[in-house]
């Protein structure tokens, strides 16, 4: 018996040893289908175009998409600081107009007229800016010669033909991030601002008058669209800007970003579009001062490209109540002729993108837990290979993964597994 006892013990241990865990396949991507482009809250731009083509007026269009609002004249002569360069290391500005002059001043001089410029930039020359520590270093470039100017935290640049500097009407070219944009109005500030993880970066703002200098440069819809659609957009854009005006954002040294996070500000190029720019400018002029209000205050007039057939509320999208946002039918967005790229769409989102979106090491399955009355995804849940589950709003998922909208469906069963809890230590 003693001879066999060790063997019996060995066999017993072998049979009761736990089996190895089955590996879970981690998909390389997730297939998604959907409709619409953007958050779907407020004015649908494709929907506005559809209604304009059907003969509806701008005010009728706006009263359809926004609830319980009054369209009334408001003083829109405010000066806005519009961010036209964000988180930069370098930038360049020069005039594109013969004989137009360019001047640089140390500091943010506001509207002051009795300030001596730090330098007057010669014709066919440029100003270059770079970051050094917590300061901005400007330099004048004339041909192949570069002359540095004393550095400071902020500088102001003016050009002739504006309300800040008389003379030949000037257009300036601002170049950064391999893109050159044209600006005709206002003045610019170049400021060193501390970014949370990047250290100091260059923020560039264009100070322009809301009523015309700013709105003439807004490029949210094609200028070839029907007049009623352009006028509806002009009123919505004016309202949105008035709602944000005066609320200073230190991160951008601005009231508004010149990108779609607020409104796309194209500058002089929008006004000068061949054959069409004058139509957008006319829409701004024809609606002068008209603003969407509640209790005599401009609303946050959200708008987006298109929807999945119904508009969305701000509560569903972002968890913030705005009584003037509502769910209404938006059939124009589902018209394949008016909205060929987004009446329906398909996307593949990579594993890396989805995992980063949920702050998980990996994601083996996605599940739509609930939907809003508009058809958007309310809550989407991700499960990792270790069984950890996290949930997000559909709009948050849309924004982080950069899919067109939250009006989406998951394709097929994405590695549906029974979550295996992580063993306790």
Sequence-distant (6+) residues with CB within 8 A of 187 are 156, 157, 158, 159, 162, 164, 165, 206, 207
- At 295-327, the pLDDT tens digits run 999 999 999 999 999 999 999 999 999 999 999
Query: Which pLDDT belongs to residue 6?
Result: 38
Query: Higher-confidence residue: 132 or 20?
Result: 132
Q: Is 151 helix (H, G, I), strand (E, B) or coil?
A: coil
Sequence-distant (6+) residues with CB within 8 A of 340 are none
For the whole model, what pTM was predicted?
A: 0.89
- At 349-394, the pLDDT tens digits run 999 999 999 999 999 999 999 999 999 999 999 999 999 999 999 9
Q: Which residues of 38-64 are buried (b: 16+ CB within 10 A; e: fewer)?
A: bbbbbbbbbbbbbbbeeebebbebbbb
Query: Which pLDDT belongs to residue 123?
Result: 85
The label of the residue with tokens 């939250």 reads: 406
C-alpha triplet 46, 50, 51: angle, nearest 5°: 120
Maximum pairwise Cα distance, the chain = 113
Which residues does residue 182 pair with via DSSP β-bridges, in sequence order? 173
Residue in 335, 323, 256 with CA at minimum distance from that of residue 51: 335
- At 243-273, the pLDDT tens digits run 999 999 999 999 999 999 999 999 999 999 9
Q: Residue 237 phi/psi, 5° resolution? A: -65, -40
């Amino acid at each position: 018996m003693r001879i066999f006892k060790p063997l019996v013990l060995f066999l017993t241990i072998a049979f009761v040893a736990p089996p190895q865990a089955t590996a879970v396949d981690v998909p390389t991507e997730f297939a998604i289908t959907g409709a619409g482009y953007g958050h779907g809250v407020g004015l649908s731009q494709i929907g506005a175009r559809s209604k304009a083509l059907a003969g509806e007026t701008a005010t009728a269009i706006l009263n359809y998409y926004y609830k319980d609002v009054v369209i009334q004249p408001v003083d829109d002569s405010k000066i806005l600081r519009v961010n036209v360069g964000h988180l930069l290391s370098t930038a360049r500005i020069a005039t594109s107009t013969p004989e137009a002059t360019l001047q640089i001043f140390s500091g943010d001089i506001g509207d002051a007229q009795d300030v001596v410029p730090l330098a007057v930039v010669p014709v066919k020359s440029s100003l270059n800016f770079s970051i050094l520590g917590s300061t901005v270093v400007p330099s004048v470039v004339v041909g192949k010669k570069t002359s540095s100017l004393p550095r400071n935290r902020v500088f102001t640049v003016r050009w002739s033909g504006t309300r800040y500097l008389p003379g030949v009407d000037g257009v300036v070219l601002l170049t950064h991030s391999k893109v050159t944009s044209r600006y005709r109005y206002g003045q610019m500030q170049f400021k060193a601002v501390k970014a949370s993880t990047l250290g100091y970066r260059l923020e560039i703002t264009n100070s322009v008058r809301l009523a015309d200098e700013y709105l003439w440069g807004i490029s949210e819809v094609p200028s070839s669209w029907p007049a009623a659609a352009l006028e509806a957009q002009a009123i919505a854009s004016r309202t949105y800007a008035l709602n944000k005006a005066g609320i200073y954002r230190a991160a951008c040294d601005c009231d508004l970003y010149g990108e779609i996070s607020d409104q796309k500000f194209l500058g002089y190029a929008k006004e000068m579009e061949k054959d069409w720019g004058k139509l957008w400018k006319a829409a701004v002029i024809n609606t002068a001062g008209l603003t969407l209000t509640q209790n005599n205050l401009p609303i946050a007039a959200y708008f987006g490209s298109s929807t999945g057939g119904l508009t969305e509320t701000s509560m569903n999208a972002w968890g913030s109540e705005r009584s003037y946002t509502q769910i209404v039918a938006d059939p124009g967005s589902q018209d394949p002729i008016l909205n060929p790229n987004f009446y329906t769409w398909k996307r593949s989102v990579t594993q890396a993108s989805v995992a980063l979106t949920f702050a998980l090491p990996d994601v083996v399955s996605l599940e739509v837990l609930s939907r809003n009355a508009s058809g958007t995804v309310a809550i989407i849940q991700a499960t990792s290979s270790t069984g950890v589950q996290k949930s997000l709003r559909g709009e948050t998922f849309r924004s982080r993964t950069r899919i067109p909208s939250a009006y989406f469906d998951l394709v097929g069963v994405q590695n549906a597994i029974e979550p295996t809890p992580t063993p306790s230590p």
